Amino acid sequence: MNRNNAPIGVIDSGVGGLTVVKEMLQYLSTETIIYIGDDARCPYGPRSVEEVKEFTMEMASALAKMGIKMLVVACNTATAVTLDLLREQFPFPVLGVIEPGARAATRVSSTRKIAVLGTVGTIKSQAYENAISAISADAEIVPLACPEFVPLVESGQYKQMDIRPVVKRSLDPIAHMEFDTAILGCTHYPLLYNQIQEQLPAGVTIVSSAYETVRDVEKVLSKLRLENISGERKDPIFYTTGELEGFRSIAIDWLGIERPDVRHIVLGKPGCQ
C-alpha cells in the first residue's frame, strides 16, 4: 500500500478518543482512521505507570501491524507517561493530546490561572504543569483529579441518568478557586461538557485538546508529505477490547455515524484484564 493512503491510528483507554476522532472526521476529510479503545481495561487513570505503558504499547503494536502511517494517542493518561517511549519504538510520527491542550489553554486564558481536570494518573504526572509552564512560565495551575467521570462515560450512564450531583461533587474542591480557563484534560470529559460547564463558575472558558490536536496532525502530515491525496477515504474501523454494543451506541451517539464498523480485538496476555 502507498504510505500516503495508509490509515492514521488512534488509541485510547476506551471511548474517550472518539472526541478526537470526531474532529478528525470533520477536518481531515481524506484520511482513513483505525481506532483502538481498550475498554476492557478502562479506566487507565488509577493504574500504575508501568501498566499504562504496557497497555498503550500493546495498542500501538497492534496498529503498527495494521500498517498505520501515524499514531494519535487520544488519551491524556497514556500521553503523559508513554509518549516518549512510543516515539522511540515506532518509525511513524506519534502525536499526543497534552501539548495541544496546553497550547489552547494558554492562548485563551487572560489571567494565566488555568484549571486542569484529568484522571488521577494525568494529574499525578504533572504533564500539564510542565507543558503549560514551557509556554507560559507565569501561569498558575489548579489541578483536579475527577476519577468518577470516566466510569460515567464508559458505562453509558451519562446518557441515562442525572449525573449532575456526581459532577458537582467532583468539582466542589475548586468551586471557590480563581481561574478563567479549564482544560478538559481527559478525552472522555467532552462527553460531559454540558454538565461540567454548568458546575464551573460563570465566565470560565472550557478548552479541550481535540481541535488543537487535529491542527497538529494536519501540520505533521503536510510537513512529512504524508497526506492522502488519492481522495479515497475508507470508513473508519473501531476496535474495542470490550463489549461491542456499548461502544457502538456511544460511537453512534457521539459521531453521528449510523452504522459504525465496530470490531473486537484481543490484546495482551490472557488473564491480565
Sites of contact with ligand DGL (CB under 6 A): 12-14, 16, 42-45, 75-77, 119, 122, 150, 186-188
Which residue among 42, 146, 186, 272 is the active-site one? 186
The answer to whether the CB of 241 falls within 8 A of the CB of 219 is no
The answer to whether the CB of 89 falls within 8 A of the CB of 57 is yes
Helices (H), ranges, the chain: 18-27, 49-65, 76-89, 98-108, 120-125, 127-135, 149-154, 157-160, 164-171, 193-199, 210-223, 244-255
Distance CA 177, CA 174 (A): 5
Which is closer to ligand DGL, CB of 37 or CB of 236?
A: 37
Transcribe 45-105 into DSSP letters.
TTS-HHHHHHHHHHHHHHHHHTT-SEEEE--HHHHHHHHHHHHHH-SS-EE-SHHHHHHHH
Which is closer to ligand DGL, CB of 153 or CB of 226?
A: 153
The answer to whether the CB of 177 falls within 8 A of the CB of 196 is no
Output the smallest distance, CB 126 to ligand DGL, in A: 14
Which is closer to ligand DGL, CB of 174 or CB of 192?
A: 192
* The one-letter amino acid at 182: A
Q: Is 186 part of the annotated catalytic residue set?
A: yes
Output the smallest distance, CB 14 to ligand DGL, in A: 6
Output the smallest distance, CB 222 to ligand DGL, in A: 26
Which is closer to ligand DGL, CB of 31 or CB of 39?
A: 39
Residues labelled as active-site residues = 75, 186
